[in-house]
Amino acid sequence: MEKKRRHQWLIVYHWVVTILTLWSVGNLGFLLLKVGNYTLEMEIANGLLVVFALDYFVRLITTKNRKIFLIHAAFDLLGIIPMHPVFALFRLSRLVRIIRFHHLFWRLGISGKWTKAFHRFVYKTGFIYLFSISVAIIVVSAFLFSLTEKQSLANSIWWAITTATTVGYGDVTPQTAFGKIIAAILMVGGVGFIGLLTSTIVDFVNTRVAASEDTQQQDDMAELMREIRSLTSKVDRLQTTVNRLNKQTKKRSTTKKSKKIATTKRPTPAKSISNE
């Protein structure tokens, strides 16, 4: 009874998280498109940020294995970064985990093969660690840049991303010595970790392509072996038929020879002698 009640509360909790996540993403869309009351939308975004932050830290405190939690909830941590509302997009990963938890794809008859591949890519390849570290470097650099260069957080995030990816548009540049030091550290760290991210993605794609080709070759080989077995079976049947026909032919030939010999050995009737 207690287990059933806990499961019911868990379903209610997941429904609340789903609604709040979709609300935060929808509110982000209104903010980016500048639709509606900007002040109200920012208050909603900040309120949802507080709710998700409390939820994250409560789960962190109550979990039995914090190491596993930090790994699987890395995107949840990124979703509560208070620097820009766009980080709310990372909360969508929570929906993916809820869907996988309740096996919704399986219940709907949809194969979960792609979700397994996604989970393998994110966690097995170490992508989640590299991505989290890269985002942390960008966020910290942007925050320090905002303090030293008196820039807004949005402009600082933009500057950090363009600097870390070596794009460098030049629309926002550091003017102070401390800002230039931050930029130098970001360039070195950003190039290193983003390069590792790129190589991880390329390696995973190449591995998947190679595995797909191997699978295709195995399928082709299996199909070829089936064809060979089918042809072998047909040849065996044909050989059996030929052998039977040969036996019948030999039997008929033997029978004809026997009849011919019997006819040759048959005695001829004696001729009558006439009296003169």
Residues with Cβ within 8 Å of 142's Cβ and at least 6 positions away in sequence, in order, are 83, 153, 156, 157, 159, 160
Q: State yes or no: pLDDT of 276 exceeds 50.
A: no
pLDDT at residue 105, rounded to an integer: 67
pLDDT class of 111 with cuts at 50, 70, 90: low
SS (H, E, C) 33-83: HCCCCHHHHHHHHHHHHHHHHHHHHHHHHHCCCHHHHHHHCHHHHHCCCCC
Mean pLDDT lowest among 92-106, 197-211, 251-265: 251-265
Residue 264: pLDDT band (50, 70, 90) is low
Predicted confidence (pLDDT) per residue in 11-30, tens digit:
899 999 999 999 999 999 99
Across all residues in the chain, what is the average pLDDT? 81
Cα distance between residue 25 and residue 139, in whole Å:
20
Q: How confident is the model at residue 54 (pLDDT cuts 50, 70, 90)?
A: very high
Share of the chain above pLDDT 90, in %: 14
Across 27-36, 104-113, 171-180, 217-226, least confident range: 104-113
Residue 114: per-residue pLDDT: 66
d(CA 137, CA 232): 65
State mean pLDDT over 125-140.
Answer: 81
Query: From CA 48, how far away is CA 54, in angstroms rounded?
Result: 10
| pTM, two decimal places | 0.60
Give the separation between CA 229 and CA 226, rounded to whole angstroms.
5
Rg (CA), the chain: 40
The residue ranking higher by pLDDT, 109 or 192, is 192
Residue 70 CB neighbour total at 10 angstroms: 14
